[in-house]
Structures are given as C-alpha cells and as structure tokens.
Amino acid sequence: MRTRRPVDATRELTNAAMTTTAETIHPPGTPSGRTAADAFARAARLEALLGDPYDPANPHGLRALFAADARRVPPAETESLLAGTGLGAEFVPAVHGGRLTRADLLVRALRPVFRRDVALGFGYGITSLFAAGAVWAAGDARQRQDVADLLLRGGRATILHHELAHANAILRHEFSARATARGYRLDGRKDVIINAARADLQVVYARTGTARGPRSHSVFLLDPRCAPPGSVRHLPRVELPGMRGALFSGLEFTGAPVPAGALVGGTGDGVGLALRVFQVNRSVICGLVTAAAGTVLDAAVRSAAGGRGATVTGRRRAPLAGVFADLLAADAMSMVVLRALSLLPDRAHLFAAAVKYVVPDLLREGLQELATVLGARGFDHAGPEHGALDKLVRDLPVAGLGHAGSASCQAVLVPQLRGLAERSWFAEDEPPSGLFRADGELPDLDYRLLGIAGGGDFMAASLVGSAARLAGARGAPGARGALAGLAEAFVTELRALREQCRRLPASGTALAGPAALVLADRYTGVVAAAAVLGVWESQDGTDPFLAGPAWAVLALSRLAGRIGVPVPTLPAGVQEEVLGELLRRQRAGLGYDLDAVAHTP
C-alpha cells in the first residue's frame, strides 16, 4: 500500500477554497471516482475547504462545530459549505452521474467531514446513502434516476426503518402498509428519525405481511410534499445525549396514501433489502468513525507532548501507542470489508457484521484509555481540541455503535457459526490478494450482487495462510518472531472455536444464550487478527512503518488480550517504534489510519 504524504497543492488550495463550488471537489472532465488517487484528491480538496480544525477563528473548525453542538443546532455555515461542494454526488452511483464507485473510496473521500464532527457527517450527508441503498439494490430505472437527481441537486433522504437505525428508541414503533386498489395505505409512527422534518425523500420499511418472517416487510419511497392534509403528523424534536447538532424528530402516518409505483422491488422484499444495505452501512460507519477517533488521539498527543515537536514520557506512552495500534487495526478491518463489498460481494455479509461488532468496542475502549491521558481536558471545551473526547463518547451510541448495534451483529453471526465450523474453517482457499491492497483496482460496488447468507469464511482462510507463511519465523527473536507466534496463537484459537461451534444447536433459544455470544465475541477477534495480518502482508515497502512488524505485533497483542488468547511479552522496541511513528505523524499533521494523509490543510 502506498502511503500518501502532504502535498504542496493541498496547502495552495487553502486560501481560495472557501469560494470554491462543486467544481473544485470534482472538476469537469476528471474521473468520476474510480481510483484511489481520485478519492484522495477529493479528500484533500475538502480538507482545504474546511480549513484548519484547530484554528479558533475558522467557522468550520472544531471550536465552531463544538459550539453548534452545545447549542443543539446544526452548524449551518458548514452545511452550506458542504452543499456548495456537491457532496450528495458521493452517494450516487457513477452510472447515474454521481461519484460513488466503491465503498472504500467513498470512506476516504468523506473522512475530512467525520474527522471533525460525526453529527455533521450523519446530519448533512451519509444518512442519504443509507436511505438510498435500497433503491440502488432493487429500484427500477425511474426510481434510481429520480433519487440520483434528487441527491445530485443537494436534496436529502432519510430512512424510516423497522430495525435499528441510529438509536435504541427507534425500536419502539413500526409502520404498516395495507394494499388498496390504487396502492397502499400507510399507518404507524416513529419518534426518532434523523432529518424527519427536512428530508426531501423518505424511504420507509413498512410491514406488509401479517406473519413474522423474512417476507414481512416492504420498502416504499415517499415524497413528503405529496402527503394529503391530515395523513402525516410531524412529532416534536427529540434531543438525544449525543449527536446534539443533528435533528431527530418523529413522524406519524394515519391512512397516508402511497402509490403503487412507490414500492421498491417486490412486496415482501424489505428484510432482504435491509440485510443487503446494512452490510454497506455498517462497514461505512466503521471506516468513517475511526477517523473521528483519530481526532481524539490527536488531542491526547497534543496534551501529552505539549504541542508539536515534543515527545511523551512516563505512563502516557503505553495508552497512546496502544490506541494508535487499535486505530490501525480498526482501519484494517474496515478497509478490507469495504473492499470485499466490491471484490467478494456474495460473501462479505459475515465480515461486515464482524467488523461492526469489533470496531465500536475498539473505539470505546480506546476512548477510555485516552481519557487517562487527557484527564479533565477531554471534557473541557475551552480549547479547540479539548472537547473531542467528550463529544465522541456521546456521539458513538447515537451513531448506531452502541449495545443494540452489537446485538444486531450477533444476530447475524451466531446462527452461522456451526455451519462455518463444519464446512468452512480450515477447508477454504484464501481470498484474492487484492482484497488487502488499498491501491489495487476493484469492480464497482453493486448493491444487487450483495449476498445475505452462506458463502463461507474467506477471512479465516486468510488467517491460516498468513500463519503458514510466517511459520519459519516462530521462536525467532524480535518483532517478526513475535508476529509469527501471535498468528499461530490465533489459528489455535480458531481450532478451538471449530470444536466448540460444532456443538452448537442448529436452532433454538440456546443461540441467544451467553455461551453462544462468547463464541461470537471470540470469533470476531480472530477475524480482526486476519485483517491485520492480511494488510501487513500486502505492504510493498513504500511505507517502512507499515511494512515493519511492530504495529501488527502491538495490534494483535491487544486483540488477543481482549478474547483471552495467550499474549507473549512484547519484544523490546515495539511500543517505542509505534509511539515514534505516532509522534512523527502528529508533527507532520498526518492522519492516524493506514493512509496517513494530511489531516490539516
């Protein structure tokens, strides 16, 4: 993987960027987003437009965004700026005139927004993609083009779902749609919907079948402007503990007429569509929120090192190096599954659930460690960077990275463990090497190809292959020997899981019991280890730090400790090397993910 470094062009854009329109983000005649270079260029231009996040006078900096959050209002000036960039094109497939080609490139392009404010990223933008996913998966030609045109014009879409979307409160209510001679009649209410009052399109998952099961729900597209008087009631705004600048409120439908042409796909397709769309949504969220955690890590390094150019001493060294390794592991998981959505679309669903299960835990635990470094400053908004910890701790659960989000991933993983143990583990071929190379070419993301069950476990096969290639280094001194030992330890864990998962019942309440959930927890740790090893092996030497074993050793040691895999003593110099890279990136203004791009203009 080639690591991008700051370029003079990024800084040259800064002064002129504030007057730039959508043409600056995507000039006419340039590629529509099919290469990593194009995504990095769009991200760099967006960084320049948003300006220095630590400049207290910047209207789009952290101080201004945190102030809007404290007032519980969207940052209007920054939303206006994003509207001028034509950000909605990021959510529209290239075939319909947008810039969406691959999920990994989408995440790279949007990270500048999420690095500053998760609520802004949800409230202004990414929710529209989550809503439109059903249309990209099953919409007819007219529906696809109509939604594309809406988003390209800067319109917003929101999602009204029967399952978890953003907060636990959304589980309390449901919509139902009854067939009529002209279409359907929609009834029901939801109290917590992001952008309910200002969306130009509502994508509704409503019950159309009386029996429980996979054919119980359908998806409809609603234009809020077409609702007859009295058929829709806007409920009051709901103020949540996190994402305070996003606008959540409710909707209640009473006999609202829905034309037959508003149905997406066929009657009863809702659950299947949700399973397809959610694997994209889960993976994208993890890739984006990892960037937000990088802002907290940056604040902690600034606090511990006293600004740029200094070093870190004492007890702060271990948590800073450890959290940096965790962010690299989280990014490895996120980027691999985002690439799998294009390269292995029929088999990515299992890994998408595993990523959404592991990454939030890594981030939450990392924030707890960073709190020991920042102390009270992490919750004090007096400085432009100090409140980042407080805000992200509050935002993560509302962004769907809380307990209910983990439970939905367990519901995907646990029923498949027995089948994987019986048919897949230690029996499959490894995935293509291009899965792990961030600069490799991939097919475009096609929602219609995404599978929702079966397909085996390509990540377990990758882990076994990585361990075999490292076998010759086992027992050797230094970091490479430690990495080989850790790889084999995770393979041993996979063997133990195979024996225990074979004894799981095929169905029944036992699959929801604590023993099965512990197996899922251990399994996702194995998957995370496979991603770290696969990304490490894919390095071409362009970035000496990522090509070296130190970061992977520290990341795997921490993953192993979380699931009870024996952890050897870290070789001398591992923590110091990881900390040194962290400080180097902080001084150079680079991000704390695998790409290491400039995160300040």
Say whether pLDDT at 162 is over 80.
no
581 in a domain, yes or no? Answer: no
504 in a domain, yes or no? Answer: no
Q: 227 and 90, same structural domain? A: no
Q: What's the pLDDT at 508?
A: 67
CA distance 344 to 279: 13
| Terminal Cα distance for the chain, rounded | 23
Cβ atoms of 162 and 207 within 8 Å: the answer is: yes
180 in a domain, yes or no? Answer: yes
Say whether pLDDT at 143 is over 50.
yes
Say whether pLDDT at 24 is over 60.
no
Question: Among 245-254, 376-385, 518-527, which stretch is predicted with the lowest mean pLDDT?
Answer: 376-385
Q: Smallest Cα–Cα separation from 123: which of 245, 281, 251, 278?
A: 245
Cβ atoms of 526 and 564 within 8 Å: the answer is: no
453 in a domain, yes or no? Answer: no
Question: Roughly what angle, to the nearest 10 degrees, separates helices 349-374 and 403-423?
Answer: 130
CA distance 386 to 371: 11
Q: 60 and 113, same structural domain? A: yes
Average pLDDT over residues 138-150: 97
User: Where does the pLDDT of residue 26 fall: very low under 50, low under 70, confident under 90, or very high at 90 and above?
Assistant: very low
Q: What's the pLDDT at 170?
A: 34
224 in a domain, yes or no? Answer: yes
Q: What's the pLDDT at 509?
A: 66
Q: 66 and 16, same structural domain? A: yes
Say whether pLDDT at 366 is over 70.
yes
Quote the pTM value. 0.91
The residue length of the chain stands at: 601
Say whether pLDDT at 165 is over 50.
no
Residue 461 CA, chain-centre distance (Å), reads 24
Residue 477 CB contacts under 8 Å (≥ 6 apart), including other chains? 571
562 in a domain, yes or no? Answer: no
Q: 143 and 36, same structural domain? A: yes
Q: 174 and 150, same structural domain? A: no
Mean pLDDT of the chain: 88
Q: 223 and 133, same structural domain? A: no
CA distance 521 to 512: 13
Q: 105 and 37, same structural domain? A: yes
Q: What's the pLDDT at 293?
A: 96
117 compared with 568, residue with greater pLDDT: 117
Average pLDDT over residues 558-575: 94
User: Where does the pLDDT of residue 25 fall: very low under 50, low under 70, confident under 90, or very high at 90 and above?
Assistant: very low
Q: 199 and 132, same structural domain? A: no
255 in a domain, yes or no? Answer: yes
Task: Please count the CA atoms within 13 angstroms of the CA of 490 that sit on its side-chain side.
Answer: 38
Say whether pLDDT at 381 is over 90.
no
User: Where does the pLDDT of residue 173 fall: very low under 50, low under 70, confident under 90, or very high at 90 and above?
Assistant: low
CATH of the domain at 196: 2.40.110.10
Q: What's the pLDDT at 448?
A: 96
Q: 37 and 127, same structural domain? A: yes
Q: 187 and 62, same structural domain? A: no
Q: 12 and 149, same structural domain? A: yes
User: Where does the pLDDT of residue 308 fall: very low under 50, low under 70, confident under 90, or very high at 90 and above?
Assistant: low
Q: What's the pLDDT at 310?
A: 66
User: Where does the pLDDT of residue 402 fall: very low under 50, low under 70, confident under 90, or very high at 90 and above?
Assistant: low
Question: Among 97-106, 177-186, 400-409, which stretch is predicted with the lowest mean pLDDT?
Answer: 400-409
Residue 99 CA, chain-centre distance (Å), reads 18
Q: What's the pLDDT at 30?
A: 39
User: Where does the pLDDT of residue 312 fall: very low under 50, low under 70, confident under 90, or very high at 90 and above?
Assistant: confident
Average pLDDT over residues 538-544: 94
CA distance 152 to 503: 52
CA distance 356 to 396: 12
Average pLDDT over residues 568-593: 94
How many domains does the chain fold into? 2
Cβ atoms of 367 and 360 within 8 Å: the answer is: no
User: Where does the pLDDT of residue 514 fall: very low under 50, low under 70, confident under 90, or very high at 90 and above?
Assistant: confident
Domain boundary among 219, 239, 268: 268
Q: How far is CA 355 from CA 212, 225, 359, in A?
A: 28, 38, 6
Average pLDDT over residues 341-368: 95
Average pLDDT over residues 559-570: 93
- The residue segments making up the domain with residue 90 are 8-155
CATH of the domain at 23: 1.10.540
Q: 199 and 226, same structural domain? A: yes
374 in a domain, yes or no? Answer: no
Count CB atoms within 10 A of the CB of residue 265.
Answer: 18
User: Where does the pLDDT of residue 404 fall: very low under 50, low under 70, confident under 90, or very high at 90 and above?
Assistant: low
DSSP bridge pairs for 188 = 175, 253
Count CB atoms within 10 A of the CB of residue 59.
Answer: 16
pLDDT, tens digit (0-9, with 9 covering 90-100), for 273-305:
999 999 999 999 999 999 999 999 999 998 888
Q: Is 340 helix (H, G, I), strand (E, B) or coil?
A: helix
Q: What's the pLDDT at 2?
A: 33
Question: Among 14-18, 267-271, 461-465, which stretch is predicted with the lowest mean pLDDT?
Answer: 14-18
Q: What's the pLDDT at 212?
A: 79
Average pLDDT over residues 57-63: 94
Element (H, E) at 189: strand 183-194
Question: Counting Cβ atoms within 10 Å, is residue 22 exposed (0-12), middle (13-18) or buried (19+)?
Answer: middle
Q: What's the pLDDT at 5?
A: 33
φ and ψ of 264, to 5 deg: -95, 120
Count CB atoms within 10 A of the CB of residue 223.
Answer: 13
Question: Alpha-carbon Rg of the chain, whole angstroms?
Answer: 23
What torsion, rounded to 10 degrees, do the Cα atoms 32, 103, 80, 166 define? 160
